[in-house]
Structure 1
C-alpha cells in the first residue's frame, strides 16, 4: 500500500471538493476530468509529493482506487464492498478481507459510487434501492439505503479465459473416467443439465464443454451475464436486457425462442432460473439435441425439482405429469459440481434420467 499521510489526503480531499463545487456551478461532471486536468488543478498540493504517491492519489480520484489491484488479479472472482474501508474478495474459493489498501477519503468513495452508477447507466433510488446490472463483462449487484445502512456492492468478475476438459482433469476438477464420460455424452449429443451451488464451477464446466465441440457447429448462447465465449465465428451469444437500461426488456424466455429461428446446432443457456425453463424444455424435447445449461441446486433430484418449478412458472396451466414428461424427454444427463471446504471445485456426480414413473423421474448413476 502506497504510504499516503492523512494530511496529504485531507489536502487533496479539500481541493477536490472545491473542484466538484466549481464543476457543479458550471453544470459539468467530474467524470469529464482527465489525469492532466486533475493535476493541473491540484499542482500546488501535489508539487511536493513523490511520483508513486501522485499515481496512487490519481487512481483514488479518477479510477477505482484500492480495487484496481483486485480487478487486475485473474485469480480474484468476486469483490464485496461495504464501505470505504470494508473490502472483501474471493480468491481460490475463499473469502478474504482486503487489508492492503482502502479508499482514503469519503469524497473519493462517493466518487467511486457515482462512477459505477454512470458506467452501468442506472442509479439506486428510494423507489428502486436494489440493482443488478452488467458492468462491462462483469456482473454487479448493488443494495442501497434504506434497505442497508450504506451502499453494498457485490461484483462478480467474469474472467473470459477458456479451459478444456483435459485441463480440468489435470487440476483434479474432473476425474479421468468422468472426462471420458462427458466427452462421450457431448459426442452423442446428450442434453445436459449442470447443477451446483454458487461458485462450484458450473460456468467453468460449460466453458470446457464449449471448447470440446466441433468447430463447424453453430452454437447459440443465451445468458443474463456475459460469462461465456462463442467457440467459433459461426456461433452467436445473446444477452438479456433490463427495462431500465435502454427501452424494452428482453428476457431469457425471449432469447430462447429467438434462438430457434437461428438454426442452432446446440442451444446453451447460461443459467435456468425462471419461466424460460418452459421454452427451453419445449425446444429440447422437439429435437434440439446436444444442448446444455446450468441451474442452482445441491443434488440431482433437487435440480430436477427446481427445473419442474421453473417450467410451471412459465406454464402454470400445465399439470405435474405433463411437466415431468417434457423434462424427461428433454434432459438426458444431470451433472453435479461441488466446492469443498478448502475451496476446490470438482464434479461430484453424473446421473442419467432412466425412467418416468408415477412418483417422478428415476436416476441412474452413469456407468463409465
Structure 2
C-alpha cells in the first residue's frame, strides 16, 4: 500500500501514464540517487540493502526489484487500490475506463476478502504460507508477462499483511531505529555499525504516510485524530512505535520505530570486539553470580547510545539458572533468550492513559518473590525504591543510568528526582562506566572505561577505581587498588584473597577462550558456564555441545 509507489519511483522514473502521484522533481531526485550510488564507495552489501560512504550521513540503499513494464503497471494499480480503498465503481469513475481493469480491481478486493484482516499481525508459519500461496496464485493469474514472481508476491505480501518497505528495515537486525520525519523527506535509520544513515525510501504523499500511521493505530486499537494526535504502540515483533499527526506535528505525520533486539551482543562478543577485557568480564561474572552467596548490586552508567543496555543484557548470562528474574523497563529491550523463570514488566506513559511508572512496577516486583531484579534505566523516584530494596536484603540488583562518570552518577543519584539518601550509598557495590568513542582507524566504538566500588566513610561517598581505561592501547585494565569485593567473597566463602584472585583469572581464561572459539550464542555460553560452575575440569575443551 504505502511504499510500492515510492519504491517503484526509483525503477520507473519517467514512465508514461503513471497513476502514481509522482512529480517530475521527485523523478529527477530518484535518478540522481541511482547515478550517485555508482559514484560512492560501497561499505557493505546485505541481503536487502547496500551501505555507501557519504557525509554527513552514510547512505542506506534498500534494494528494489527491477520489475518489467507489466509488473510495474500491476503493482501501481494494486498499490492505488489498497491506499485509497476505492470501490470498483469509484475507481471506474475516477480513472479507470477499461472494463478489464475494473474487473481486475474487483479481483483485488476478492483476494483481500479471502485473506481477511491480517494487517500487521504476527502470523503462524502455516497462516503466512497460506496467504503467500494465495497472493502467488493471484499474481500468476493476472500478469501475462511475469518475470519476477517471487519478488512481486513478496512485495504484495508486505503491502497487505505488514508495513510495506518498512518490513524490510525491521528484518535488518543491524538497524536499531527507523525515523520518518515527513512524507517530503527520506526515511532515516540508525545502524549499529554505521550510525545514522539516510535511506532511498521516500513517500509520494502525505496521505501515504498518514495511512501507514493509521494502520498501526488500528492494529493496537487506539484512537488517532486531531484530539488525540500522539500514538505510542508496539508491533508484533516487540518494536516500539511512536507516531504524531497534526496538530502535534503541523507539517504532517511522523513515525519513529525503536526496534526490539531479536539478537543482542553476548559477553564473548563484547570481549571479541574489545568493549570489555576478559579480566574485567570475569570480575563482573563474579559480581553477578556472587559465588552463590553474595551477588553485588551494580549500576551501569554512560551517555546516550553508549551501549549500557547491551552490556547489562550480556551480563545476565551470569545469573544462576535457578534464580527467578524480574526485569522492569520503560521499553522492552532486554533479551534473556530461553530463560524460563523470567518475568518482563513494562511501564506505561502517555497523555491519554493512566500512568504505570517504573516505581509502581518496582514496588510490585518486591512482592513477586524475585531472586533478581533488573531495572532497565534508573532515572526517577524508583532509584530510592531500588536502594530501599537493597536495604531489606535484595541482592544482585542491576540497572543502568545516564552519567558521564562514576562521580557524576553519585551526584545524580543524590539529586532530585532520584534523591537517594547519602546514608544508603553503602548498599551500592559497583558502578560500571561505559562510553561511546571514536578511535583512530576503528571509527565509533563502545568501551567500558571504569569499574568502581562504592563505599561510605564519615558520611562521604568514596569510589574505589578497580579498573580504568588505558588510553595507550584503548583497553580496560586492572589497577593496583585492593578490592573490597574480593575481600568480602573471601570472608564469606572461607577462602583466601589469593584463591578469589585465581578464580577470577581462571574465569578470564575461560571467557577469552570462548571468544576466540566464537562461542557467541547466549544459551551456548550459559551451558559452558553452568558446566564450569558444576565441575571446572569438565569444560577444559570448551565444548558446549
TM-score bracket relative to the smaller structure: 0.7 to 0.9
Q: Per-residue displacement from partner, 1:135-180 (whole Å, max 9, x unpaired)?
A: 3311222233233312222211121335442331122111123212
**Correspondence for 1:234 among 313, 329, 341:** 341
After superposition, the Cα gap between the structure-2 partners of 1:295 and 1:120, relative to the gap in structure 1 and judged at 3 Å, is: farther
For 1:133 and 1:303, locate their aligned partners in 2 and report how far apart those are by CA, in whole Å. Answer: 31
- Which of 444, 450, 453 is equivalent to 1:352? 453
Corresponding residue number in structure 2 for 1:262: 368
The gaps in structure 1 that reach 5 residues or longer are 315-319
Q: What CA deviation, in whole Å up to 9, does each residue of 1:43-85 have, x standing for no partner?
A: 9986656533454255345422222221111111111112345
Residue of structure 2 equivalent to 1:181: 283
Deviations 1:314-354 (CA, angstroms, capped at 9, x unpaired): 7xxxxx6x72222x033111111112232322212111213
Aligned to 2:417: 313
What TM-score, normalized to structure 1? 0.81
- Is 2:203 aligned against 1:97? no
Contact 1:65 1:102 in 2 (8 A): no
C-alpha displacement at 1:226, in angstroms? 2.0
Q: Do the aligned residues in 2 keep the contact of 1:354 with 1:361 (CA within 8 Å)?
A: yes
Alpha carbons 1:201, 1:338 under 8 Å: kept:
yes
- Distance in 1 between the 2:278 and 2:87 partners? 63
User: Which runs of structure 2 are paired with 1:169-208 in the superposition (5 Å)?
Assistant: 169-186=271-288, 187=290, 188-208=294-314
1:1-368 matches, cutoff 5 A: 1-3=64-66, 11-16=77-82, 19-20=85-86, 31=117, 50=147, 51=149, 52-53=151-152, 55-60=154-159, 62-84=161-183, 86-91=186-191, 92-99=193-200, 101-103=201-203, 108-136=208-236, 137-148=238-249, 149-161=251-263, 163-186=265-288, 187=290, 188-230=294-336, 232-242=339-349, 249-309=355-415, 312-313=416-417, 323-326=421-424, 328-341=425-438, 342-356=443-457, 361-366=461-466, 368=478
Is 2:217–2:233's contact at 8 Å kept on the other side of the alignment?
Answer: no
Residues 266-322 of structure 1, C-alpha deviations (whole Å, 9 max, x = no match) = 21111113222221121112221111101122222222333333xx437xxxxx6x7
8 Å Cα contact 1:81/1:153 also seen in 2: yes
Q: 1:196 to 1:140 in 2, by over 3 A?
A: farther
Measured at CA, do residues 55 and 259 of structure 1 come closer, stay the same or move farther in structure 2, by a change above 3 Å? closer
Is the 1:351–1:364 Cα contact (8 Å) retained in structure 2? yes
For residues 348 and 290 of structure 1, the distance between their equivalents in structure 2, rounded to whole angstroms, comes to: 22
Is the CA contact (8 Å cut-off) linking 1:9 and 1:105 kept in structure 2? no
2:473 matched residue in structure 1: none
Q: Could you tell me how far apart the structure 1 residues matched to 2:372 and 2:78 are?
A: 56
Q: Is the 8 A contact 2:243 2:253 kept in 1?
A: yes
Task: Please identify the structure whose Cα radius of gyration is greater.
Answer: 2
Residue 261 of structure 1 aligns to a residue in which SS? coil
- The count of residues paired between Structure 1 and Structure 2 equals 354
Q: Would the aligned equivalents of 1:163 and 1:211 in 2 still touch at CA under 8 Å?
A: no
Q: Residues 278 and 144 (structure 1 numbering): CA distance in 2 closer, same or farther, change over 3 Å?
A: farther
Residues 109-152 of structure 1: per-residue CA shift (max 9 Å, x gap): 33322222223343444444344333331122223323331222
Query: Structure 1 14/169 Cα, relative in aligned 2: closer, same or farther at 3 Å?
Result: closer
Task: Compute the displacement of 1:215 (Å).
Answer: 0.9
Structure 2 Cα separation of the partners of residues 133 and 18 of structure 1: 24
Using the alignment, how far apart are the partners of 2:243 and 2:324 within structure 1? 36
Cα gap change, 1:19 to 1:235, in 2 (>3 Å):
closer
1:257 to partner: Cα distance: 1.1
Q: Which runs of 5+ in 2 are unaligned?
A: 1-63, 91-111, 120-130, 468-477, 479-545
Label 1:61 to 1:239 Cα distance change in 2 as closer, same or farther (>3 A). same
Query: 1:90 Cα shift?
Result: 1.4
Work out which structure has the larger RCO, using CA pairs closer than 8 Å and 6 or more positions apart in sequence: 1
